Amino acid sequence: MDLEGDFTIPKGELFGIIGPDGAGKTTLFRILATLLRPDEGTVTVEGMDIVRDYRTIRTVLGYMPGKFSLYSDLSVRENLEFFASVFGKDVKENAGLIENIYCRLRPFEKRKAGNLSGGMKQKLALCCSLIHSPSVLLLDEPTTGVDPSSRRELWENLAELRDKGMTIIVSTAYMDEADRCGKVAMMKSGKFLLAASPSDIVSGFGKRLASVRSDDMFRLLHDLRSMEGVGKCYTFGDTHHIILKDGTDMTEELVGEQLVSVYGHTGVQVRRIRASLEDCYMNLGEE
Amino acid sequence: MGAFKFLFVKEIKQFFGNPFMPVVLILLPLLLMLVVPLAANMEIRDVRVAIVDRDCSDMSEQLVAKISESGYFILSSHEDTYAGAMDELGKGNADIIMEIPAGMERSVVRGEPVEIYIAANAVNSTKGSIGGGYLSSIVSDFSETLAGTPVAAGAPLTVVPQFRYNPNLEYKLFMVPALMIVVIVLVGGFFPTISIVTEKEKGTIEQINVSPVRKRDFIFSKVIFYGILGIFAFTVAFLIAHFVYGLASNGGLLEIYVSAMIFLVFMAGFGLVISNYSDTLLQSVFMMFFFVLVFMLMSGIFTPVSSMETWSQYVTYCLPTRYFVNILRAVCLKGSSFADLSFDFVMLSAFAVAINAVAVITYKKQS
């Protein structure tokens, strides 16, 4: 996997990495976690080189891989105690940091980790990666396969941890989650296309965007794509989003009129909208 | 040292958390040591003989009676023709055919030579050859008693063999040390391999890898824990060997345990090397199985090294099982000591050190 990019993540930031499957997110995390040695380039964590000072980095790093990887044949409590002892720490010393997360797991303390529900497994994994009070936390797609309320809780937990001064790097494939990050980097096939705060990314979107609907959404998509002046068209929830080409005479009103008069659509609605993070992402790497 | 202790405790919790594995650990030596020596016996009994008696004389009846009295044979049928007996052999109702020619008694009285024909089914070659051997020795014994009294003058030289260390040539005594080795190979080889590869498959090894735990602590926690389990299983096997089969009555407890420990360290290291090179449980189990078969079949556990092809005798020098088999048999049956077996001990230790060095070098926390 080739990764291309050059950026710095400030201390105490909640930093999101967005990209589709296969973009290189996990590879990046494995490099940051000192599991993978890059052939070229340098990476430093807390000012330490990941190749030379990997041993020191491992003491300040919390890593939660995308795949559940705790001991499923040990109980919840045993897992927590084991991972604390691996870092030479005591569960009690660091209980404060995980209290908000662990309180939900306490009723299941004696249960084997393998028998927990998906959301609970995720909470336990987070606890285990936090138990040694790391200064940098790496979370590889922590919300994949987790129900919406658990997802929200996780992000609230992350925000609390950030407020305590921890640097957190999260990868996700969900755009709505990226909004919660202080800064996001967008990745596509190993390239970092953009790294800025979500509001900067959105306000930097320099194109005219409109949402379109009609009674026949399927034909609408095809028709919109054949229209002159429409640069790009993609489905977005229950509407289609179109981007009008730069320097075209086309306006939202004209699109609506043409859809009715030329293509015979009924119930047409065309509205100019502000770009969301997902719109920005969809239009990355075009120019 | 702190990390080692926690890793070790984790191994204990994992092993005893699953009730299946401790049961296997106890049942494996018990069944192997108690059932296999009884079942896998090279002594041949109850060989079925089809008799084709063309003579039908007193003498031929005496011969047949002597055969059935020997206890090794069952007279399955009396046939009139050889073809009829062959038919029985083909159907699997008889293992050996003995044909007594017509006029045997008359020829014997006249002092003429008589040929008795024996045909054995050699599909099961041991049963065929050993059964045939027994039968011919009974026949020659019989002919001696016939000729007996008159020719006492020309008393032939008789050989009285004495088998040292295993006077009755009991197959069990040969098998039991071999089975003790099988116990140690299975427990010491498979358990640590399975444990490491499971950590790889589940991804837990990654969590260990990103922690400051040193790789030697991780590896030694497994080698030592499964080494102790191996010694436990070996002890069960040894106690059975001693109290059930009366082995190692000549002492040598220290020699046996030192060699078992060295061998366990070798097996654990070997298992680690295999787990370092395999990503899935399936791969590692098949690889391990392949090597275990070579270890067992080529190192004199079941067939003596000295009767192998010359080239394969050289191969056995590269198999640490060879030395361990040597030590165990010599100590169990002969009561040999360290001084007698120094070469085997040195070689076994060299293998153990070398393979563990390879294990630590090939285990990478980073890729």
> Which residue, among B262, B248, B271, has the nearest Cα to B331 in the 3D structure?
B248
B47 within 8 A of B96, measured Cβ to Cβ: yes
Domain end residue (candidates: B133, B154, B175): B154
Is B68 in the same domain as B109?
yes
Q: Would you say residue B56 has pLDDT above 60? A: yes
Which amino acid, residue A88?
A: G
Q: Which residue, among B131, B130, B95, B137, has the nearest Cα to B116 in the 3D structure?
A: B137
- Helix (H), strand (E) at residue A73: none
Alpha-carbon span A157 to A126, nearest angstrom: 10
Query: How would you label A73-107 residue by residue, b for 16+ Cβ within 10 Å and e otherwise?
Result: bbbbbbbbbbbbbbbeeebeebeebbeebbeebee
Residue B152 has pLDDT above 70, yes or no: no
* Tokens, residue B171: 């197959």
Using CB atoms and an 8 Å cut-off, which of residues 90-149 of chain A contact chain B? 112, 128
Task: Find chain A residues with C-beta within 8 A of B206's C-beta.
Answer: 35, 63, 65, 69
Taking 3-state DSSP, the helix, strand and coil percentages for chain A, each rounded to the nearest 5, stand at 35, 20, 40
- CATH number of the domain that B102 lies in? 3.40.1710.10
Q: Do A63 and B210 touch (CB under 8 A)?
A: yes
Q: Is A1 on the interface with B (CB under 8 A)?
A: no
Which domain-ending residue is among B154, B182, B210? Answer: B154
Interface probe for B, chosen from A35, A86, A132, A138 (most Cβ of B below 10 Å), is: A86
Kindly determine whether residue B367 and residue A35, on different chains, have CB atoms separated by under 8 Å: yes
- In degrees and rounded to multiples of 5, residue A165 shows phi and psi of 100, 10
Count CB neighbours of A23 within 10 A: 23
Residues B56 and B201 in one domain: no
Please report, for residues A27, B177, B334, the alpha-carbon distance to residue B305 in angstroms, rounded to integers and kept in the order given. 52, 15, 18
Percent of chain B exceeding pLDDT 90 equals 15
Please name the residue of chain A whose CA is at the shortest distance from the CA of residue B9: A82
Contact status of B1 with chain A (Cβ, < 8 Å): no
- Mean predicted lDDT score pLDDT of chain B: 82
> Using the 8-state DSSP alphabet, how is residue B340 labeled?
G
Q: Which of B2, B18, B366 sits opposite A73 (nearest CB)?
A: B18
Q: Which residues contact B230 (CB under 8 A, 6 or more apart)?
A: B184, B187, B188, B191, B260, B264, B267, B268
CA distance A124 to A74: 12
| pLDDT score recorded for residue B344 | 92
The beta-carbon neighbor of A71 closest among B3, B204, B367 is B204
Closest partner residue to B366 (CB to CB) among A37, A68, A74 is A37
Instruction: Pick A59's closest partner by Cβ from B14, B212, B367.
Output: B212
Distance from CA of B261 to the nearest CA of A (A): 28
Threshold 0.80, pTM exceeds:
no
> CA-CA distance, B296 to B179, in Å (whole number)?
10
In chain A, which residue's Cα lies nearest the Cα of B204? A69
* Other CB atoms within 10 A of residue A35 CB: 19
Q: How many CB atoms lie within 10 A of CB B146?
A: 16
Confirm if A211 and A41 have CB atoms less than 8 A apart. no
* B366 with A58: Cβ contact below 8 A: no
In whole angstroms, give the CA distance from residue B311 to residue B340: 26
Residues whose CB falls within 8 Å of the CB of residue B79, separated by 6 or more in sequence, listed in order: B50, B51, B52, B85, B88
Residues B64, B172 within the same domain: no
Domain encompassing residue B348: 2-39+167-362
Which positions in chain A touch B3 (Cβ < 8 Å)? 85-86, 88
How far is CA B195 from its chain centroid? 28
The pair of three-digit structure tokens given for residue B282, joined into one six-digit string: 């399936």
Which residues touch B54 (CB under 8 Å, ≥6 apart)?
Answer: B99, B100, B101, B102
- Asked if B10's CB is within 8 angstroms of A71's CB, the reply is yes
Residue B162 lies in a domain: no
CA distance, residue B211 to nearest chain A CA (Å): 5
In a domain, B341, yes or no: yes
Q: Does the CB of B62 have a partner CB in chain A at under 8 Å?
A: no
Please give the pLDDT value at position B159. 53
Residue-level pLDDT at B233: 92
Q: Output the pLDDT for position B353.
A: 92
Give every CB contact of residue B221 below 8 A, 6+ residues apart in sequence. Answer: B4, B7, B8, B10, B11
Task: Mark whether B326 and B244 lie in a shared domain.
Answer: yes
Q: Calculate what percentage of chain B has a pLDDT beyond 70.
A: 89
Which residue from A minimizes the CA distance to B12? A74
Check whether residue B247 and residue B300 sit in a common domain.
yes
Does B274 reside within a domain? yes
Compute the nearest-CA separation of A59 from chain B (Å): 6
B172 and B94 housed in the same domain: no
Overall domain count for chain B: 2
pLDDT value of position B151: 40
Is pLDDT of B286 > 70? Answer: yes
pLDDT tens-digit readout, A156-209: 999 999 998 899 999 988 888 888 888 888 888 888 877 888 888 888 887 888
- For B325-334, letters b (16+ CB in 10 Å) and e give bbbbbbbbbe
| Per-residue confidence band for B148, with pLDDT thresholds at 50, 70 and 90 | low
Indicate whether B141 and B57 sit together in one domain: yes
> How far away is chain B from the Cα of A186, in angstroms, using its nearest Cα?
26
Contact A17, A170 (CB under 8 A): yes
Residue B161 within a domain: no
DSSP B331: I
B367 lies in some domain: no
Is B199 found in the same domain as B288?
yes
> Mean of the pLDDT values across residues B34-51?
77
Any A CB within 8 A of B202 CB: yes
pLDDT at residue number B147: 61
ipTM of the complex in this document: 0.76
Judged by CB atoms closer than 8 Å, whether chains meet at A128 and B14 is answered as no
Pairing of strands A183-188, A61-64: unpaired
Contact of B48 with B255, CB cutoff 8 Å: no
Domains and CATH numbers, chain A: 14-202 (3.40.50.300), 205-282 (3.30.70.2070)
Q: Is B279 exposed, middle or buried (0-12, 13-18, 19+ CB in 10 A)?
A: exposed
Q: Report the gap between the CA of A283 and the closest CA in chain B (Å).
A: 35
What radius of gyration do chain B's Cα atoms show?
28
Residues shown for chain A:
287
Q: Which chain B residues contact residue A67 at CB under 8 A?
A: 203
User: What residues form DSSP beta bridges with A18?
Assistant: A172, A186
Output DSSP code: residue A130.
H
Region B181-186 average pLDDT: 88
Instruction: Answer whether B206 touches A (CB < 8 Å).
Output: yes
Measure CB to CB from residue A35 to each of B6, B202, B210 and give the nearest one: B210
How confident is residue B106, by pLDDT bands cut at 50, 70 and 90? confident
Query: DSSP for A198-229?
Result: HHHHHHT--SEEEEEE-S-HHHHHHHHHHSTT
Give per-residue burial for B7-42: e unless 16+ CB within 10 Å, then b.
bbbbbebbbeeeeeeeeebeebbeebbeebbeeeee
A33: closest chain B residue by CA: B210
Query: Nearest CA to B222 among B256, B181, B190?
Result: B190
How does pLDDT run across B188-214, given as a tens digit for each residue? 888 889 888 998 888 888 888 888 888
Of B202, B209, B210, the CB nearest to A72: B202
Closest C-alpha to A213, from A228, A225, A224? A224
Q: Tell me if chain A has a CB within 8 Å of the CB of B2.
A: yes
Task: Give the best residue of B210, B366, B367 to mutate against chain A (max A CB count within 10 A).
Answer: B210
B222 belongs to a structural domain: yes
Q: Are residues B109 and B56 in the same domain?
A: yes
Residue B155's contacts (CB-CB under 8 Å, 6 or more residues apart) are none
Looking at the structure, tell me whether residues B17 and B96 fall in a common domain: no
Residue contacts between A and B (CB atoms, under 8 Å): 70
Q: B322, B242 in Cβ contact below 8 A?
A: no
Residue matched to tokens 């293509």: A263
pLDDT band at B161 (very low <50, low <70, confident <90, very high): low
Does A86 contact B366 at a Cβ distance shorter than 8 Å?
no
Give the containing element (helix H, strand E) for A139.
strand A136-139
Tell me what the mean pLDDT of segment B282-306 comes to.
86
A263 and chain B: CB distance < 8 Å anywhere?
A: no
Other beta carbons within 10 Å of A246: 9
B17 and B149 in a single domain? The answer is: no
Per-residue confidence (pLDDT) for residue B150, from 0 to 100: 45
Same domain flag for B118 and B199: no
Q: Which helix (H) or strand (E) holds A286?
A: none
Q: How close does chain B come to A112, measured CA to CA in Å?
A: 10
What are the pLDDT tens digits along chain A (287 aa)? 677 777 788 888 899 998 888 888 888 888 888 888 888 888 888 888 888 888 888 889 999 988 888 998 899 999 999 999 888 888 888 888 888 888 888 999 899 998 988 888 988 999 999 998 899 999 998 888 788 888 888 899 999 999 988 999 999 888 888 888 888 888 888 888 778 888 888 888 878 888 888 888 888 888 888 888 888 888 888 888 888 887 777 788 888 888 888 888 888 888 888 888 888 887 775 54
Using the Cβ of B342 and the Cβ atoms of chain A, whether some distance falls under 8 Å is answered with no
- B356, part of any domain: yes
Say if B162 is an interface residue toward chain A (CB within 8 Å). no
Last residue of a domain, one of B127, B154, B181: B154
Check B367 against A36: CB less than 8 A apart: yes
